[in-house]
Every structure is written in C-alpha cells, then in structure tokens.
Structure 1
Amino acid sequence: MGHALCVCSRGTVTIDNKRYLFIHRLGEGGFSYVDLVEGLQDGRFYALKRILCHDREDRKEALHEVEMHQLVEHPNVLPLCAHAMVEKGPKHEAWLLLPFFKRGTLWQQVEALREKGTFMAEERILYIMHGICRGLQAIHSKGYAHRDLKPTNVLLDEDDQPVLMDLGSMNQALIKVTSSREALAVQDWAAQRCTISYRAPELFTVETECVIDQRTDVWSLGCVLYCMMFGEGPYDMIFQKGDSVALAVQNRLAVPHNVRYSPALERLLSSLMAVYPQERPYVADVLSQLEALQPTPTGLDTTRI
C-alpha cells in the first residue's frame, strides 16, 4: 500500500518521501474526506482522499479502490498518483493522492447552467458523452463495471474532457445469480454502493436466477445524459420527495417535450433508459451512435461557463 506516511508539522504530509502542504477541505462524505494539497517538490495541486477504515473489511474495500485505479489506465479514468495506509490508533486511514481538477464535476457545471436559466448545448453534451463512454469502455474491457456512474463522479478537465472517478464501487461486470441468497446479497450490496437515483432497475429487485452485466452502467449513463439535457437526473426529484425510486424505474421513462435537442438525441436517451437490460445497448454501440451524431467529437470548441 505504498511507503509509510507521516503527518508532519505546519500542515504537511509525506507520501512516498514527497511532502504535500494542506490548502483546504474540498469535500467530505460518510467515511471519507478530500483535501486540496500542494506538492512542495513540483508545485502542483492534488486532491488527497482520506478513507476512514474502522476494521479489516474497510481496509479491504480501500485497497480494492486502489487496485481499480491501478487496473485501468485511460485518459477518461482518474489515475492514482500515490497511496498509503496510515495507522490512527486502533483504526487506519487509506490515503489516495489524485490529480486535482479545478473546474470540478459535471454536476457543478450543470448546476451553474441551471442557475443562469440555460441548458447545455447538444454539441457539448455529445462531446462529454463520448468521453464518458470511452472511460466506461476501458473499464468494461477489463471485465469490470463502474456501478456508481453519476454527474458528481465525472470530473471535467480544461478541455471539457470527462474523467471518471470514485472507483470504489467497481466490481465484476458479469454477476451470475443462482439462488435467493445470492440475489439478496447483490441487492443489499447495490443498496449500499449504487446511488439510488442512478441505480439500474435490475439492482432494486434482483431475480433468483439471472445475470447482471455491465449494462447497469448504460442505465446510469442514460440518467447522466438526462441530467445534462434537463438540469437534473430523471429520478432526483422522486427521491427528494420521498417517493419510491424502485417503483418509478420499472416504468419506461417519459422524455419531456422540448425543442432544444434533436430527435436523434432523444432516441439515444430512450435506448439507454430501457427498463430491461437486454434491450439496452452496450457502450460500444453507444459510441457508434454518438459518432454518427457527431463524427468528430475531439477538438470541440466548447462553451465555457
């Protein structure tokens, strides 16, 4: 898990014999928090993710996240710069040093547009979707699925290229379920690790005999596309109101009538949001559709916020 890490004086830490200065807190979740740090040797900014590990199972999960970063090397998947496990009394913390993206997440971009009373241009949507799909394809090619794709887990670089992050929920793409016990285990895992308003229908009520595959990510991709088009996820409001998302996702999504986007983009959205996974395209097929809509997705002069 990397070389020993120590917390030093004046708000610095040392990872792999390199010192980093704490700048400020970027965010925090239930069992982790992220700080902006500056490398004292190279002068670059990084995001330092610190995962609280209360027991051996927590440490195993943190190591899994490290392994997933190391498994997939692709421009559209967040790389890991360094890592270490540090003891905090009887507990441990996993420290993941990651690149810092000052433009933030796709969700922050969507929110900024919504506050201005405007929506994302179709050309930009296609560009971002293309990059997300390339990242997913890289993950799927390794036999894994992301399982928690959502706008807050997509970073945007200076060229508007999306970068997938938060790889802790990644697991085997193909999950064969052969008993009610296995079905319940998968269902419970999904309830803990897959964000409810972006979770595929087949993960809410897992059948006793079935195969879950990487097209759970395609459903989530559809929710991300919807969010870019309409300023919020298709099931965000249902969740916020306390209504049943599990029930809502069993019905085919009704795409709001609009004149902003082409019928082809609406058809793509509908294909991604097919309730039955067998009816959804694989990511390679989605890429083909995107390239037909926009033959040259690279080098786009995007409109910045």
Structure 2
Amino acid sequence: MGSTLCICSRGVITIENKRYMFVQKLGEGGFSYVDLVEGVHDGRFYALKRILCHDREDRKEAVHEVEMHRLFNHPNILRLEGQCIIEKGSKWEAWLLLPYVAKGTLWSEVESLRDKNCALSEDRVLHILRGISLGLKAIHDRGYAHRDLKPTNVLLEDDDRPLIMDLGSMNHARIEVTSSRQAMSVQDWAAQRCTISYRAPELFSVESNCVIDERTDIWSLGCVLYCMMFGEGPFDMIFQKGDSVALAVQNNVTIRTRIVINMYSQALESLLSSMLVVNHQERPYISTILAQIETLVPAVDGQATTRI
C-alpha cells in the first residue's frame, strides 16, 4: 500500500500526490471512522474511511480490504479512489479514499419511506435488486463471496444505482471444512465478521465436514430483498428483542402479511422464498437469480413509492 500522506494545519491531506481538505465527520463504527473530504484538484467530495489497526493482524485485514477493492471495476461495486497506511506510534491507520454518495445507504432509503408509512414500489425493488445482483455476480465470478451483504452495506446513487461496499469481510467463495477445529474457526470468524441478522444458517453451526460456498450471499440477498419489501430484515426484530437469531434462521421464513394484499407480485415473493432456503445446497446461484429478475424487470424501471 502507498504511504504518501501529509496532514497540514488547515486540515489538508495528501494521498497519492493529490490534496484533499477535511470538511466534516460522517460517521464511525467499532474500528473505523468516515470523514467527508473535498479534492483540491477537482472540487469533488469523497468519503475517507480510516481503519484503526491495533496490531499486524488488523493491518493485514485492512490491506485485504484494499486488495478486494482493486479486483473490481464494476458499476455496482464501490470503487477505491486512493489509499495509504500511516504509522501512529506502535499502531497504524489504513486510509481508504472512496466516492461520496450523498443519498446514503439502501437502509436509509427504506427507513425514510417506512417512517412515512410508504414502501418501495416493485419496480424500484427490482431495479435495485438487479444492480446488487450484478455486483454480486462480479464478486462470485472472481471466486469470492462478500459474506456481509446488508442494507447498510449498499449505497444508492440518485438514479437508484446500488453500490456494494465494505469489502473487508470478503473471502474465497468456496471453503472446504474437514475438521471440527476448522469448523469452529470458520464459525468464530463468521460471528465476528458477518452481521447476525443477515448471516446464512450454515455459518451459525458449521459442520466438521462440509463445503461452504458463495450461496451464503444468496441468503443475505434474500434478507436484503425482504427488507426492501417489508421495511426491515426478517430477523431484525428477533435480534432487537434479544431472542435467538441462530434458532430463528433454521425455521422457514414466513412472508409478512401486514402489507396490503397484492402490493407485490407472487413472482417476486417466490423469488424471495427461493433465496431464503435453510439448506444452502438448495439455494440458487446468483446467475439463476439474475435470470429470474430479468423476467420480472419492466422495460422502464419505475421510481414511485407505494403507500402501505
């Protein structure tokens, strides 16, 4: 990773020989912060993600996230504009310069509509779902899986083009487990890196002799689709109440009935059900999902919202 960085008294930084001015903080997570910066050279806004690295393992994971970004140049995967690592005493910070998407995340859009007693129209749902699926296909075609797909990890451009972000949990699509020790290692990793209410069932209790593949993402995609349709993920409330998500995901998901009858087509609900199958060997691959979406997407994507 590059190391071209300068922090000046006026909040100006230089990354890969380009200068950026700090504007404001955008948010923070457990081990990272996101700032809004403006490019001095082009006047555009960017999101600067700063990942705190407490040890070499943290640094290795940050480098991995950068490497995952570099694998893709796809309209539905957030691109990396620049990066560097700086030393701070015995620790490091990895800085990832990313495009700034003012509209925010898919979750922000769903939550905003829900607060207005509205929901995404089927046309919009299909348009967004198709874009996410195209991004996932690009990831799967390279032999990787995202492993942490959720509405807060999808940004929406003004034209509803979705951008998959947060690639730090990505790893090889196919994981062959041959021992109980390896199974526990995979399970522990999933508990740390895969959001519980969007985590595939096979990652909760990993068998000692099994193969886990990219269809963990299909389960998560189903949860994202459910969220777009019904305003929350199928297991969000279970998690919020403190009940066992691990037990809940082993049972068949019942499509919510509080929504007005006929709000969504039977075909879309059938597509949703095909993703939320507990046995991952019975889940479709992303190519099958895309083929089904193409039969449902109207010639012109609508942008309306539907009132509940």
TM score, norm. by length of structure 2: 0.96
Partner of residue 189, structure 1: 189
Partner secondary structure for residue 167 of structure 1: coil
* CA deviation after TM superposition for structure 1 residue 304, in Å: 7.6
Partner of residue 282, structure 1: 285
Q: In structure 1, what is the Cα distance between the partners aligned to 2:33 and 2:290?
A: 34
* CA deviation after TM superposition for structure 1 residue 4, in Å: 2.1
Say whether the 8 Å CA contact 1:38–1:46 is kept in structure 2.
yes
Match for 2:49: what amino acid?
K
* CA deviation after TM superposition for structure 1 residue 301, in Å: 4.4
Q: Percent identity?
A: 68
* CA deviation after TM superposition for structure 1 residue 3, in Å: 3.6
Partner of residue 87, structure 2: 87
Cα offsets for 1:60-105 (capped at 9, x unmatched): 0000000000012211001000000011111110000000000000
Match for 1:278: what amino acid?
Q
* CA deviation after TM superposition for structure 1 residue 210, in Å: 0.3
Partner of residue 165, structure 2: 165
Q: In structure 1, what is the Cα distance between the partners aligned to 2:125 and 2:305?
A: 13
Match for 1:290: what amino acid?
I
Partner of residue 205, structure 2: 205
Say whether the 8 Å CA contact 2:123–2:302 is kept in structure 1.
no
Partner secondary structure for residue 302 of structure 1: coil
Partner of residue 67, structure 1: 67
Q: In structure 2, what is the Cα distance between the partners aligned to 1:263 and 1:90?
A: 57
Alignment pair present for 1:264 and 2:252 = no
* CA deviation after TM superposition for structure 1 residue 224, in Å: 0.2
Q: In structure 2, what is the Cα distance between the partners aligned to 1:303 and 1:262?
A: 16
Q: Which runs of 5+ in 2 are unaligned?
A: none
Q: Which runs of 5+ in 1 are unaligned?
A: none
Partner of residue 302, structure 1: 303
Q: In structure 2, what is the Cα distance between the partners aligned to 1:116 and 1:54?
A: 42
Say whether the 8 Å CA contact 2:199–2:220 is kept in structure 1.
yes
Count of aligned positions: 303
Alignment pair present for 1:238 and 2:238 = yes
Q: In structure 1, what is the Cα distance between the partners aligned to 2:89 and 2:56?
A: 14
Partner secondary structure for residue 48 of structure 1: strand
Cα offsets for 1:247-300 (capped at 9, x unmatched): 00000101122421111111111100000001111000000110111154xx63
* CA deviation after TM superposition for structure 1 residue 8, in Å: 1.1
Match for 1:31: what amino acid?
F
Cα offsets for 1:174-220 (capped at 9, x unmatched): 00000000000000000000000000000000001000000000000
* CA deviation after TM superposition for structure 1 residue 158, in Å: 1.7
Partner of residue 2, structure 2: 2
Name the Cα RMSD after superposition: 1.2
Say whether the 8 Å CA contact 1:72–1:142 is kept in structure 2.
no
After TM superposition, the structure 1 = structure 2 runs for residues 135-150 of structure 1, keeping only pairs within 5 Å, are 135-150=135-150
Cα offsets for 1:115-141 (capped at 9, x unmatched): 101111001000000000000000000
Q: In structure 1, what is the Cα distance between the partners aligned to 2:282 and 2:152?
A: 27
Partner of residue 291, structure 1: 294
Q: In structure 2, what is the Cα distance between the partners aligned to 1:254 and 1:160?
A: 28
Q: In structure 2, what is the Cα distance between the partners aligned to 1:156 and 1:47?
A: 14
Say whether the 8 Å CA contact 1:6–1:86 is kept in structure 2.
no
Say whether the 8 Å CA contact 2:50–2:93 is kept in structure 1.
yes
Q: In structure 1, what is the Cα distance between the partners aligned to 2:295 and 2:85?
A: 46
Give the stretch that moved more between structures: 221-230 or 286-295. 286-295
Q: In structure 2, what is the Cα distance between the partners aligned to 1:3 and 1:293?
A: 47
Match for 2:2: what amino acid?
G
* CA deviation after TM superposition for structure 1 residue 18, in Å: 1.1
Match for 1:33: what amino acid?
Y
Say whether the 8 Å CA contact 2:121–2:303 is kept in structure 1.
no
TM score, norm. by length of structure 1: 0.97
Partner of residue 220, structure 2: 220
